[in-house]
């Protein structure tokens, strides 16, 4: 087990390096000069431009700049953006916000999705099942920005029961954005749970468990659901990263100062170091989530062992 | 944030929704009257908030609240009035003696002295400090020493600035510039307290100035709380208790918050909402000309646009654009058809005048005739270029092309070249890559006709991206800058503008308006020439 984890972590190093190189190149190949972008519609002062270009190594070849950057990152220094603001500071302000949002969204989709899926599977073809099927179909087909704006308008403006925008001093203002963010994945998880549960409920060992005289709840939770969880856990693991990286639209609608908006601004203003650093951390989140998922397989299904 | 109390109701309200949904949310829970605090939408300033490094409206908003300079532009008339300055005297329009009023203080108690100004200006000009507004000090003698065109600085301070005593200093300019004192209302020229230099980081985290407000807290990316400074001795004491600026990444969300009663003031009504804004806000909607003009600049560095006769083609193109229709249909009246190269916000005394005349009036027949007389469009076609990531640029470019194509009746001779991002557009613009007319948006830094003409059309001007060059025009601008009398200077500038009407180096399209919407709690809301709300005059009640 321990050796497996170490091997996976070692594998993560080339993935991380590859991802940063790729993104670094992409950002710096974008047309437009970041120093000119600082001056807006005006013409940047030539001497200041020259100093800044020198300071941020913009005259050096790409591979050299990448080396400066990555050697900084390896020593824990993410560098600064072109206004001189440390990228670590930007990330420490924005990541927690997005992490909170993603965590709430993750909890919503996991809890609601699995519970709804299980009930739908048990009452297959009955009223509740149809309600679940229909509502998830609706959630999957409505884009996030439509759902976000409609809920904002109905709950926020018309009924005035929900906040329209985020308030840093009030975490409950994240609930509605989190529900919106989780909506599509929530629908997938519900349907995934439903199908998976229906399959395992037909399995021989479940029939055996029932025949042994175990209580229904024990049969469902301990024997059926636990085995049905494997595809769901896989999806949840990948989705955690997607929730963080995909929050751009939701963050914009509800004015949440998270990484989505920061990333958008940074791309727009050609703040290369900010973009690469944020994406690097996102890649880390993906890698970690995938590792945890793989380890969870062994917990859920004793037949799976890592050596 | 003040909104916190309101949002805390969420949990309670969610359970009570079936019973009394309407009782939750909305409602003014904050104090009104002289101590009332208003909330206002804001955008995160790109650069740190420093007077000489802030060149956009959002940081400018804050500077306008926490600083007062030598002069200040009257929000209504745009006239530059002495504020910290008692008098600015000159005999030759080149050497100025500035005397300060006594009694001005920074909010940390430090008095505002002549040195507060000269230190601030020397800091802003010095190349090592990399301040975006450094060129504003380039008229002062000794600027080249602290800010050479290339290479390191040769001096710490500018020779042209001399402190006489606590309340007096003199400024020597390189050339005669009669309206120079009028430029001193610009935010780059405000004084700075000692702490700015001694503990720069602390100052940036919580700026200290000499204006009617003080910064209570500043959280980058989310907002700033400003409170009335009770020790302020200026005439324009704040009429409210303070302003909470809240960062919105999307102006649609800000507008929705305004409609729902969670926000008091929005100074940028999103384009999608313009159709509803009268219904939603009634007379709590402001739409007035700002110091912004949009033009189409011809690439006169390209021989095909600069040979003899092409001025007729350029003029013809201008007359083929139906400005009335486009500003109404696409911009819902938030743009005003242009009649000159300045802005109506200058006022008639400031130099605004219908100088373009017929050349800016839609006349398809005459347009067609002029273009044919001038030898036709270069290569038989014209391509308009703009970035299309903001500001409905794609929509109006299509409309202008349709207008031109209809007027000429030669099929699709006008096409658009949309550029995905502003950065890419600027890159190509500053390296003179465009082969056809391109968009140029100009926001004046101070309400002076000089600022609309010299940087844009003077030979080698800092933002003369079409490389227009005309000896007569340059001579008239030089003459205007030498005039001792302001009214005469304006006349000279208008004469120079007349040359633009003949040569048409840039087609004036429309003036951009400033817009704002506000809640029922507020009154006396107005925008200044820079489309920034005049916060100190707003009353909450």
Tens of pLDDT, residue by residue over A263-297, are 888 888 888 889 999 988 888 888 888 888 888 88
- Confidence category of residue B9, pLDDT binned at 50, 70, 90: very low
Give B221's contacts in chain A (Cβ within 8 Å): 90, 93-94, 257, 262
pLDDT of residue A188: 94
- Please count the other Cβ atoms lying within 10 Å of the Cβ belonging to residue B99: 18
Binary contact (B150, A48; C-beta < 8 A): no
**For chain A, where are the alpha helices, taking DSSP H only?**
2-29, 34-38, 46-55, 62-74, 87-122, 127-141, 144-151, 175-201, 204-211, 216-218, 226-245, 248-253, 259-268, 272-300
Surface of A (159-198) touching B: CB under 8 A? 159-165, 167-170, 172-173, 175
Is the pLDDT higher at B495 or at B3? Answer: B495
In percent, the amount of chain B with pLDDT more than 90 equals: 67
Contacts of B87 (CB under 8 A, 6+ apart): B98, B99
Least confident of A4-18, A60-74, B2-16, B239-253: B2-16
> A155, A161 in Cβ contact below 8 A?
yes
Which residues of B4-70 form beta strands (DSSP E)? 37-42
Asked if residue B37 has pLDDT above 50, the reply is yes
> B123, B200 in Cβ contact below 8 A?
no
pLDDT digits (tens, 9 = 90+) for B348-375: 888 999 999 999 999 999 999 999 999 8
Give B132's contacts in chain A (Cβ within 8 Å): 38-39, 42, 44-45, 48
Asked if residue B340 has pLDDT above 70, the reply is yes
Surface of A (50-79) touching B: CB under 8 A? 50-52
Binary contact (A32, B7; C-beta < 8 A): no
CA pair distance B46, A252, nearest whole angstrom: 18
Surface of A (118-137) touching B: CB under 8 A? none
Give A180's contacts in chain B (Cβ within 8 Å): none
Report the gap between the CA of B8 and the closest CA in chain A (Å).
Answer: 7
Binary contact (A170, B221; C-beta < 8 A): no
Average pLDDT over residues B21-30: 39
Contacts of B350 (CB under 8 A, 6+ apart): B78, B342, B447, B448, B449, B490
Tell me which chain B residue has its CA closest to the CA of residue A148. B253
pLDDT of residue B485: 84
pLDDT of residue A171: 84
Binary contact (A257, B221; C-beta < 8 A): yes
Residue bearing tokens 């469009």: B377
Nearest to B90 by CA among B183, B185, B178: B178
**Contacts of the segment B216-221: beta carbons below 8 A, 24+ positions apart:** B216/B242, B219/A168, B220/A85, B220/A93, B220/B44, B221/A90, B221/A93, B221/A94, B221/A257, B221/A262, B221/B44, B221/B247
- Please count the other Cβ atoms lying within 10 Å of the Cβ belonging to residue A208: 12
The DSSP letter of residue B512 is E
> B101, B86 in Cβ contact below 8 A?
yes
Binary contact (B254, A252; C-beta < 8 A): no
- Confidence category of residue B26, pLDDT binned at 50, 70, 90: very low
Binary contact (A47, B222; C-beta < 8 A): no
pLDDT of residue B102: 92
CA pair distance B343, A95, nearest whole angstrom: 44
Nearest to B458 by CA among B505, B401, B392: B505
B89 strand-pairing partners: B97
| A153 touches B: beta carbon within 8 Å | yes
* Facing residue for A52 by CB, picked from B14, B130, B441: B130
Give B150's contacts in chain A (Cβ within 8 Å): 46-47, 50
Binary contact (A33, B442; C-beta < 8 A): no
Nearest to B106 by CA among B233, B193, B186: B193
pLDDT digits (tens, 9 = 90+) for B182-215: 999 999 999 999 999 999 999 999 999 999 999 9
Report the gap between the CA of B449 and the closest CA in chain A (Å).
Answer: 18
CA pair distance B103, B101, nearest whole angstrom: 7
pLDDT of residue B541: 83
Asked if residue A44 has pLDDT above 90, the reply is no
> A35, A82 in Cβ contact below 8 A?
yes
pLDDT of residue B270: 85
Report the gap between the CA of B307 and the closest CA in chain A (Å).
Answer: 27
Contacts of A107 (CB under 8 A, 6+ apart): none
Characterize the bridge pairing of strands B285-297 and B438-443. antiparallel
Interface test with A, best of B5, B6, B25 (most A CBs within 10 A): B25
Phi, psi torsion values for B132, nearest 5 degrees = -65, -30
Tell me which chain A residue has its CA closest to the CA of residue B127. A48
Nearest to B217 by CA among B463, B37, B5: B37
pLDDT digits (tens, 9 = 90+) for B483-532: 888 889 999 999 999 999 999 999 999 999 989 999 999 999 999 888 89
pLDDT of residue B69: 95
Asked if residue B35 has pLDDT above 50, the reply is yes
CA pair distance B60, B58, nearest whole angstrom: 5
Give A48's contacts in chain B (Cβ within 8 Å): 127, 130-132, 134
pLDDT of residue A111: 95
* Facing residue for A159 by CB, picked from B4, B21, B442: B21
The tokens for B469 are: 């060059």
Flag whether the pTM goes above 0.90.
Answer: no
> B368, B414 in Cβ contact below 8 A?
no
The DSSP letter of residue A257 is -
pLDDT digits (tens, 9 = 90+) for A215-267: 888 998 888 998 888 889 989 988 888 888 778 889 989 999 899 888 888 88
pLDDT of residue B28: 42
- Confidence category of residue B326, pLDDT binned at 50, 70, 90: very high
Q: How many residues comprise chain A?
A: 307
Binary contact (A160, B22; C-beta < 8 A): yes
- Please count the other Cβ atoms lying within 10 Å of the Cβ belonging to residue B437: 25
Binary contact (A43, B463; C-beta < 8 A): yes
Average pLDDT over residues B231-237: 91
Binary contact (B55, A255; C-beta < 8 A): no
Asked if residue B457 has pLDDT above 80, the reply is yes
Nearest to B404 by CA among B434, B367, B436: B367
pLDDT digits (tens, 9 = 90+) for B47-87: 889 999 988 888 999 999 999 999 999 888 888 899 999 99
Give B204's contacts in chain A (Cβ within 8 Å): none
> B30, A183 in Cβ contact below 8 A?
no
Interface test with B, best of A35, A37, A80, A257 (most B CBs within 10 A): A257
Report the gap between the CA of B100 and the closest CA in chain A (Å).
Answer: 31
Average pLDDT over residues B426-432: 87
Binary contact (A261, B147; C-beta < 8 A): no
Contacts of A43 (CB under 8 A, 6+ apart): A36, B430, B462, B463
Surface of A (246-275) touching B: CB under 8 A? 251-255, 257, 261-262, 264-265, 268-270
- Confidence category of residue B302, pLDDT binned at 50, 70, 90: very high
- Confidence category of residue B392, pLDDT binned at 50, 70, 90: confident
* Facing residue for B1 by CB, picked from A45, A153, A169: A169
pLDDT of residue B8: 37
The DSSP letter of residue A222 is I
pLDDT digits (tens, 9 = 90+) for A98-140: 999 999 999 999 999 999 999 999 988 899 999 999 999 999 9
- Chain-centroid distance of CA B435 in Å reads 28
Tell me which chain B residue has its CA closest to the CA of residue A176. B10
Phi, psi torsion values for B174, nearest 5 degrees = -70, -35
Tell me which chain A residue has its CA closest to the CA of residue B15. A161
Asked if residue B334 has pLDDT above 60, the reply is yes
Any idea of the CA torsion for B299, B303, B307, B312, to the nearest 10 degrees?
-30
pLDDT of residue B336: 93
CA pair distance B47, B261, nearest whole angstrom: 31
Give A92's contacts in chain B (Cβ within 8 Å): none
Q: To which H or E segment does residue B253 belong?
A: helix B251-259
Interface test with A, best of B54, B56, B133, B221 (most A CBs within 10 A): B221
pLDDT of residue B18: 33
Asked if residue B113 has pLDDT above 60, the reply is yes
pLDDT digits (tens, 9 = 90+) for B118-155: 999 999 999 999 998 898 999 999 999 999 988 899 99
Could you tell me how many CB contacts below 8 A there are between chain A and chain B? 177
């Amino acid at each position: 087990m321990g050796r497996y984890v170490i091997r996976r972590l070692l594998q993560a190093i080339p993935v991380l390096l590859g991802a940063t190189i790729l993104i670094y190149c992409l950002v710096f190949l974008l047309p437009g000069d970041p120093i000119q972008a600082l001056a807006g519609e005006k013409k940047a002062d030539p001497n200041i431009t020259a100093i800044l270009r020198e300071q941020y190594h913009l005259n050096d070849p790409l591979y050299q700049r990448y080396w400066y950057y990555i050697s900084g990152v390896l020593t824990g220094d993410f560098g600064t953006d072109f206004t001189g603001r440390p990228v670590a500071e930007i990330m420490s302000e924005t990541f927690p916000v997005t992490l909170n949002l993603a965590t709430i969204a993750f909890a919503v989709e996991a809890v609601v999705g699995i519970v709804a899926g299980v009930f739908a599977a048990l009452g297959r073809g009955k009223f509740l099942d149809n309600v679940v099927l229909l509502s998830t179909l609706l959630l999957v087909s409505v884009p996030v920005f439509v759902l976000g704006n409609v809920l904002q308008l109905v709950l926020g403006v018309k009924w005035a029961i929900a906040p329209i925008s985020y308030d840093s001093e009030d975490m409950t203002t994240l609930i509605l954005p989190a529900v919106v963010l989780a909506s599509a994945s929530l629908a997938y998880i519900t349907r995934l749970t439903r199908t998976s549960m229906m399959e395992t409920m037909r399995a021989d060992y479940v029939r055996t468990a029932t025949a042994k005289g175990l209580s229904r709840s024990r049969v469902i939770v301990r024997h059926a659901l636990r085995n049905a969880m494997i595809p769901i856990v896989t999806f949840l693991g990948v989705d955690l990263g997607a929730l963080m990286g995909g929050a751009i639209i939701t963050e914009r609608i509800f004015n949440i100062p998270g990484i989505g908006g920061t990333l958008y601004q940074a791309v727009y203003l050609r703040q290369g170091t900010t973009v690469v650093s944020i994406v690097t951390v996102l890649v880390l989140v993906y890698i970690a989530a995938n590792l945890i998922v793989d380890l969870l397989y062994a917990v859920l299904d004793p037949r799976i062992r890592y050596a | 944030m003040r909104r916190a109390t309101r949002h805390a109701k969420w949990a309670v309200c969610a359970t009570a929704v079936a019973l009394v949904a309407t009782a939750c949310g909305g409602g003014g829970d904050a104090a009104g009257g002289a101590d009332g605090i208003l909330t206002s939408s804001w955008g995160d300033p790109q650069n740190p908030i420093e007077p000489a490094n802030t060149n956009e409206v959002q940081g400018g908003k804050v500077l306008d609240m926490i600083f007062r300079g030598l002069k200040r532009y009257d929000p209504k008339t745009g006239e530059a009035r002495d504020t910290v300055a008692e008098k600015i005297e000159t005999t030759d329009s080149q050497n100025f003696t500035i005397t300060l009023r006594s009694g001005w203080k920074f909010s940390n108690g430090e008095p505002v002295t002549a040195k507060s100004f000269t230190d601030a200006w020397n800091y802003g000009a010095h190349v090592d400090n990399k301040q975006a507004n450094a060129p504003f000090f380039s008229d002062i003698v000794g600027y080249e020493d602290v800010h050479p065109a290339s290479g390191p600085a040769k001096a710490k301070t500018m020779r042209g600035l001399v402190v006489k005593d606590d309340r007096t200093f003199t400024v020597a300019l390189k050339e005669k510039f009669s309206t120079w004192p009028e430029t001193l209302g610009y935010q780059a020229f405000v004084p700075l307290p000692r702490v700015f230099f001694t503990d720069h980081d602390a100052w940036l985290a919580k700026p200290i100035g000499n204006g009617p407000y003080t910064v209570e807290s500043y959280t980058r990316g989310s907002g700033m709380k400003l409170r009335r400074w009770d020790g302020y001795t200026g005439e324009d004491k704040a009429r409210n208790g303070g302003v909470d600026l809240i960062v919105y990444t999307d102006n649609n969300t800000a507008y929705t918050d305004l409609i729902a009663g969670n926000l008091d003031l929005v100074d940028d009504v999103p384009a999608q909402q313009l159709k509803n804004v009268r219904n939603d806000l009634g007379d709590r909607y402001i739409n007035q000309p700002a110091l912004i003009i949009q033009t189409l600049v011809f690439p006169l560095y390209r021989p095909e646009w600069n040979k003899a006769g092409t001025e007729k083609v350029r003029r013809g193109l201008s007359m083929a654009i139906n400005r009335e229709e486009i500003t109404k249909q696409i911009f819902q009246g938030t743009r005003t058809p242009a009649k000159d190269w300045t802005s109506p916000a200058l006022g008639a005394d400031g130099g605004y005048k219908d100088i373009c005349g017929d050349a800016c009036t839609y006349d398809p027949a005459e347009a067609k005739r002029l273009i044919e007389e001038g030898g036709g469009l270069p290569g038989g076609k014209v391509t308009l270029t703009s970035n299309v990531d903001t500001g409905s640029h794609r929509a109006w470019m299509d409309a202008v092309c349709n207008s031109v194509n209809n007027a000429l009746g030669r099929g699709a001779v006008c096409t658009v070249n949309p550029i995905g991002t502003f950065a890419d557009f600027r890159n190509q613009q500053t390296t003179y890559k465009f082969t056809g007319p391109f968009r140029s948006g100009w926001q004046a830094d101070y309400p002076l006709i000089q600022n609309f003409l010299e940087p844009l059309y003077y030979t080698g001007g800092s933002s003369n991206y079409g490389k227009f060059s005309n000896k007569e025009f340059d001579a008239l601008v030089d003459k205007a800058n030498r005039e001792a009398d302001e009214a005469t200077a304006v006349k000279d500038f208008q004469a120079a503008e007349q040359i633009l009407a003949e040569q048409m180096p840039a087609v004036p399209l429309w003036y951009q308006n400033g817009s704002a919407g506000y809640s029922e709690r507020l009154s006396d809301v107005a925008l200044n020439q820079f489309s920034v709300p005049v916060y100190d005059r707003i009353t909450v009640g």
